[in-house]
Amino acid sequence: MFHEIHEECGVFGVYGHPEAANLAYLGLYALQHRGQEGAGICSSDGRHLHLDKAMGLVADIFSEKRLKKLPGHIAIGHNRYSTAGSSVLKNVQPITANFALGPLAIAHNGNIVNAAELREELEKEGAIFQSTSDSEVIVHLIAHAKGNDFYERVTQAVKQISGAFSLLILREKELIAVRDAYGVRPLSLGRVDGAYAIASETCAFDLIGAAYIRDIEPGELLIIDENGIRSMRPLVAPRQASCIFEFIYFSRPDSYIFGGQNVNHIRKEFGKQLARESFVDADLVIPVPDSGVPAAIGFSEESKIPFDFGLIRNHYIGRTFIEPKQSIRHFGVKIKLNPVRKLLQGKRVIVVDDSIVRGTTSKKIVKMLREGGGAKEVHMRISSPPTIGPCFYGIDTPTRQELIASTHMVEEIKKYITADSLAYFSLEGLKNIVPDSHNYCTACFDNNYPMSFPGEHLEQMELFLK
């Protein structure tokens, strides 16, 4: 299959600042957690676009010298998430192209569900693709679209897309932001020194001293140019379906997403409710760092069981999840985490993590807490419901068969990870905490997918229906 599904990314844009590329650099730096495979910035000085992109981390790629080669007052940037088998520069964004209405660059966060079909059609019409990224489809759709002006073309193009897109488009004299009508991925608008900034998450605003104004609304097309800001609403969906997993795992705790909800606050509330649902008598609550920290603090506060850092994380290693082979992943947990024996020895320990995907991490952690840490009992608490459905909209989850909770009961998973007890957060509890929870996609927990499925994902759906 040509395109690598399940990519989560970060996007950042700025309009009207003399140091646009420098701000984009900082914005991407703050959004590094959303993608570590590669990054790029494209700037415009009003006449030409200037692009620089490479594999690796933002701070390793861009030097002062390289940023100087990105002049202008407009810029967009992109962090790409690493997925197995797709680590090639040509898939790193922004993607640039020249077409009838001039040059453009795009940065896309999300995943296009019908990318394969669209690509096939476009290729039949003569389009030549440079990459295997689903995002390139958007560029070709815009080039092929008909319409009186650029915005009509963009609208026509994105109307053909099924899936998630928080999209930034850079042209010589303008910055355009489009968010899919379901509002799957976050996208926020901010203001700094009279300039506008747009970011996947508000933590990027904090670093550059920008003030959060509002979200780009689901279905909104926002134009920023010398006349200021203009908004259109060309896209409609039957409902909003923002990604609940942004709260659980993906977004940074200091960010405010989906209408200004603080991620840390929500995660802590998850932990409190989890404690109410699945209290167990113990001596110590510890998080799996960093993903389990806010929920573990909430769990400790509610249960009155002391909190401490019983596992120490080495921060200089990429996320274990992105490593391709099972054998490496097993090793990965150990090089990433180490137990603090002094804290754990002889204790009944509650360990809180945000999710179980394949079960590999939890199994290693339980073993580590017992063998390396000397814990007497290990009780695993998960601040999300069982992950039973793969994500087609941009969160990097494996296939349904690999999701341990889709094929095993909680009791079986408990045995597999060798915990003394295991409890997940209830979907009901989760929905009670997230305000307006009907506006969220919870497909990974209840198989309730908001969009239809074209051919390439049918196999997955059939497995689910069996």
Shortest spacing between CB 386 and ligand AMP, in angstroms = 11
Burial 105-139 (b: 16+ CB within 10 A, else e): bbbbbbbbbbbbbbbebbeeeebebebbbbbbbbb
| Amino acid at position 237, single letter | A
With CA atoms as reference, report the closest residue to 80 among 132, 120, 118: 132
* 319 or 408: CB nearest ligand AMP: 319
9 is catalytic: yes
Q: Which of 9, 42, 203, 243 is catalytic?
A: 9
* 6 or 272: CB nearest ligand AMP: 6
* 348 or 358: CB nearest ligand AMP: 358
Question: To which residue do tokens 């998080």 refer?
Answer: 287
Alpha-carbon distance 242 to 229, whole Å? Answer: 24
* 205 or 393: CB nearest ligand AMP: 393
Task: Name beta bridge partners: 310.
Answer: none
The answer to whether 284 and 350 have CB atoms below 8 angstroms apart is: yes
Shortest spacing between CB 269 and ligand AMP, in angstroms = 18
* 202 or 251: CB nearest ligand AMP: 251
* 182 or 249: CB nearest ligand AMP: 249
The answer to whether 219 and 179 have CB atoms below 8 angstroms apart is: yes
Chain length of the chain? 466
* 240 or 362: CB nearest ligand AMP: 362
Query: Which tokens hold the place of 323?
Result: 């490593």
The answer to whether 447 and 388 have CB atoms below 8 angstroms apart is: yes
Shortest spacing between CB 182 and ligand AMP, in angstroms = 19
* 16 or 292: CB nearest ligand AMP: 292
Shortest spacing between CB 197 and ligand AMP, in angstroms = 26
For residue 38, the number of C-alpha atoms closer than 13 Å in the C-beta half-sphere is 18
Interface contacts to ligand AMP, rule CB under 6 A: 249, 288, 291, 319, 321, 353-362, 395-397
The answer to whether 390 and 403 have CB atoms below 8 angstroms apart is: yes
Residues with catalytic function: 9
